[in-house]
Amino acid sequence: MLPELGQMALLIAFVLSLLLGTLPLWGAQRGNVALQLTARPLSFALLAAVTVSYILLTMAFVQHDFSVAYVAKNSNTLLPVMYQVSAVWGAHEGSLLLWVLTLCVWIAAVAVFSKNLPDVVHARVLAIMGLVALGFLAFTVITSNPFERMLPAPLEGHDLNPLLQDPGLIFHPPLLYIGYVGFSVAFAFAIAALIEGHIDTRWIRWARPWTNVAWAFLTLGIALGSFWAYYELGWGGWWFWDPVENASFMPWLVGAALLHSQATTEKRGSFSSWTLLLAIAAFSLSLLGTFLVRSGVLTSVHAFASDPERGMFILAFLCCVVGGSLVLFALRAPKEAGKPFQWQSRESLLLLNNLLLTAAAAMVLLGTLYPLLADALGLGKVSVGPPYFGKLFLILMAPLVLLIPFGPLSRWQRENLSDIARWLAPWLALAVLIAVIAYFRAPQHPLKSAMAWFSGIWLALGTARFVWHRFAQSQGRFTAEIIGMVTAHAGVAVFCFGALMTEGLSVEKDVAAKPGQSFEVGDYRFTFLGVTEVAGANFIAQRGDIQIGIGERHLGILHPEKRQYASGGSSMTEADMHGGLTRDLYVALGEPTDNAGGWALRLHVKPFVRWIWFGAILMALGSLIVIFDKRFKRKGHEA
């Protein structure tokens, strides 16, 4: 009975989104205020309907209602309650419902916080978001109904994919979705502006906090996914250039460009059509990500069970949304206005930042789709791997790293870059000096280690130089916007240092260990004590005991596991690590090597690896701090 109610709620939501997508838009065209005002109540009703549907699906999981096909496929009675709740978004149908729910939460949030907007803009923005919701609800109802019954009901379900039975993965999809979907706000504002026919810096000021929140969540989502891969997948890597990772990384890059160009357009009026295009692109890439993951076009470890019919549906939807908005853009994009600027100015630097970030996104897009292109043209099956992505990405990001400290120090409109160069020169020299020392002292990969020290120190000191400049010049007046920017740029410094140090100085050893044997990796000592069998809630594990130490000091005992889940399938590796600020010690269990208790072990020492995620958290935090700036709190309709 309850699943049918859930389905009913989903259908009601579909009708509500149809109304939300049409009535206010029509009202806005006709100047009918009554119709425009339907937007807000319809938004709330839509959220309510989708929430009911979502809660009912969760209840089906918690009550083990295996007559629902989706529940039977992704849960079983042994599954811990925490994972029963998160299993809702563990596969295609449910995660799509979560997508829709997230979108409806954003719609309702815009409805609540947009009271100051003119009714027409308000109606258009909500209606456009309603149309996006309509597309996704149609997709859910037509091709991916999570409430479909399976009769007779099986007594026991399969299991949630063991890979997903991890606390980190509970929050990874919701965070990502909040980010993805959040770009729909900037998108809706861009489309509303294009329909309106002229761009008003007010809408940009209005859209900026939303973009910042979306980007911050996307950053956290990606970072969490990367951290999960690091400790769950068992070999200590943190980024794989996997098609699905790329799918989330492209909107992130374009989103980062959008943050900067929105700020420019809001303050100076420059780049207005470029900002509109980026807003469209950021959301389009989020949709493209959804398409790539679910259509089966690209093979990937993350891919959901794919289905050509679903692929066609999303492709059609993608064409409507992206094609439609780009047609609108071609017809109505505003002429470049804005205040004039010289080439030595903050505008130019921001333009350069935008070009580098979008070029990086284009590079990732090309690399991700190239295998498909080659296949379509009959050039054979090709894979594009980390060598391509890693090198090109480094080449594109290196100038960005060099330029970051210049941006905040420069002035709008015109600037004498040689002044700034003079301020920064000592710090640049210091960074180079340290990099040279690092180059000659590095035990391996000297270039990477030099780049790590250079980028970390240059970015940190360059940003600090700006803070000092600010103290000296404007009596230490720091707005939330500036504090946020400094935090995020410091995050980039921390990230670059961590990423390059890990890449350059990690030591790994694969060994065949006998009980009692010790191994030296870097300065650390790993002693293998043996493997015992332990039982978990829904799995049996081989559990290793490895003592770690440095010199005379014992640091503790690590317990990597190899798990076999009761529901069958291949075994899972649970690595264990001793984390620290300056290094992680990481142990993963391989396979048994003989019958006398010998096992293959992977031992890693990873310097500064945690800084990668500290950096990401700082970037996200910085992006969030910006929204508390006074400029976004201004009431009323004034410009």
Which residues contact other proteins (rule: CB under 8 A)?
233-237, 242-243, 273, 277, 280-281, 284, 291, 295-301, 306, 308, 311-312, 315, 318-319, 322-323, 326-327, 329-330, 333, 369, 371-373, 375-376, 380-387, 508, 510-512, 569-571, 573, 588, 590-591, 593, 600-602
CB 62 within 8 A of CB 146: no
Helix/strand/coil for 561: strand
Least distance (Å) between residue 38 CB and other proteins: 32
Of 203, 187, 197, 199, nearest in space to 331 by CA: 197
Q: State in angstroms the smallest separation of the CB of 332 from other proteins.
A: 9
State the minimum distance, in angstroms, from the CB of residue 532 to other proteins.
20
Structure tokens at 389: 């992505």
User: Closest CB to other proteins among 338 and 386?
Assistant: 386
**Strand pairing of 561-565 and 539-550?**
antiparallel
Q: Any idea what the Cα angle at residue 178 is, between residues 246 and 142, rounded to 5°? A: 85
Q: Which residue has the tokens 């391996």?
A: 444
**DSSP string computed for 159-226:** ---GGG-SHHHHHHHHHHHHHHHHHHHHHHHHHHHHHHTS--HHHHHHHHHHHHHHHHHHHHHHHHHH
CB of 292 to other proteins, least distance (A): 9
Residue 185 region, left (φ>0) first, then alpha (ψ -120 to 50), else beta?
A: alpha
Alpha carbon of 235 to those of 170, 432, 587: distances in Å? 21, 33, 9
Are the C-beta atoms of 500 and 452 separated by less than 8 Å? yes
Our CB check for other proteins shows the closer of 27 and 236 to be 236
Instruction: Output 541 or 617, the one with its CB closest to other proteins.
Output: 541
Based on CB atoms, which residue is closest to other proteins, 94 or 236?
Answer: 236
Q: Whole-number minimum distance, CB 470 to other proteins, in Å?
A: 37
Tell me how far CA of residue 427 lies from CA of 211, 432, 455, 463, 466, in angstroms. 33, 9, 12, 10, 12
3-state SS class at 116 = coil
**Minimum gap (Å) between residue 354 Cβ and other proteins:** 14
Shortest gap between Cβ of 141 and other proteins (angstroms)?
Answer: 21
User: Taking a C-beta distance cutoff of 8 angstroms, is the pair 211, 182 a contact?
Assistant: yes
Cβ partners under 8 Å of residue 188, min gap 6: 110, 124, 125, 126, 128, 129, 132
Of 33 and 327, the one with the shorter C-beta distance to other proteins is: 327
Q: Work out how close the CB of 573 gets to other proteins at its nearest, in angstroms, rounded to a whole number.
A: 7
Indicate the residue among 479 and 571 with the shorter CB distance to other proteins.
Answer: 571
Say if residues 428 and 473 touch (Cβ distance below 8 Å). no
Q: How far is the CB of 233 from other proteins (least distance, A)?
A: 5
Instruction: Pick between residue 241 and residue 427 the one whose CB is nearest to other proteins.
Output: 241
Shortest distance in whole angstroms from residue 359 CB to other proteins: 14
Residue pair 560/544 in contact (Cβ under 8 Å)? The answer is yes
Distance CA 351, CA 384 (A): 29
Going by C-alpha positions, the residue among 507, 554, 501, 506 that lies closest to residue 527 is 554
Comparison of 369 and 431: residue with beta carbon closer to other proteins: 369
Instruction: Between 48 and 138, name the residue whose CB sits nearer to other proteins.
Output: 138
Task: Work out how close the CB of 112 gets to other proteins at its nearest, in angstroms, rounded to a whole number.
Answer: 33
Q: What is the CA 140 to chain-centroid distance, rounded?
A: 23
445: left (phi over 0), alpha (psi -120 to 50) or beta: left
The C-alpha atoms of residue 154 and residue 264 are separated, in whole angstroms, by 59
Find the shortest distance in angstroms from Cβ 288 to other proteins. 8
| 38/295 with CB nearer other proteins | 295
- Nearest residue (CB) to other proteins, 407 versus 590: 590
- 439 burial (CB, 10 Å; 0-12 / 13-18 / 19+) is middle
Quote the distance between the C-alpha of residue 599 and its chain's center.
Answer: 37
Residue 361 near residue 250, CB atoms below 8 Å: yes
CB of 541 to other proteins, least distance (A): 15
